[in-house]
Amino acid sequence: MNSALSLMGLALRAGRLEVGEDPAGDACRTRRCRLLLVAADAAEASRRRAVRFAGEGQCLLLPLPFSKEELGAALGRTSCAMAALTDLGLAQALADQLARQEPELYGEAAERLRLKAERAAQRREKTAAQRQQRGGGKRPPVKYRKK
C-alpha cells in the first residue's frame, strides 16, 4: 500500500479527515479544512465543486494520483472522490509524501503547506510568550460592574 494512502488512513482514525463531498464541503465552509483532496478519476462536477469549496474555505486543493476505488479502499469505503484534511501537520506530511513521489506536481503545494505550518508555529510561540509575560495561565477574568 502507498505510504500517502496509509497516512490518510491514519488521519481518518485520528478524526482529522472528512470523507465525501458533503463532509468535505462543510469542513471547507467552516474553514477547518487545510487540504482538500480529489481523486484522479473524479467526475467533472465533483472537480468543479471541489474548486468552489477550496475557494470558499481558502484551503489548498490537490488532485491525487489515486482512483476513487484506491482512495476508498484506503479509507474503508467502496469509493471516495473527495476528502478534506483538517490538521495542518498531517496535511503537510501528506503533501511532502506526494512531493517525494512526484516533485514537479506536488512540490509547490508542499512548500506552501510548510510555510503555513511555520507561521502557525510562530503564532503559537508568540501567544506562549505573551502568556509567560502575564504570569502563565489563562487570561485574567473580565470584571463586570453591577448595575
pLDDT over 80 at 16, yes or no:
yes
d(CA 53, CA 13): 23
In this prediction, residues 15-34 reach a mean pLDDT of 94
d(CA 92, CA 75): 19
DSSP secondary structure code for residue 14 in this structure: T
In this prediction, residues 16-45 reach a mean pLDDT of 95
- Predicted confidence at residue 144, as pLDDT, reads 81
Which residue type sits at 75?
A: L
In this prediction, residues 67-91 reach a mean pLDDT of 93
Select from 35, 45, 52 the least CA-distant residue to 112: 35
- Predicted confidence at residue 2, as pLDDT, reads 83
CB count within 10 Å of CB 119 equals: 11
Instruction: Report helix, strand or coil for 82.
Output: strand
DSSP secondary structure, 71-137, as one string? HHHHTTSS--SEEEE--HHHHHHHHHHHHHH-HHHHHHHHHHHHHHHHHHHHHHHHHHHHHHHTTSS
pLDDT over 70 at 127, yes or no:
yes
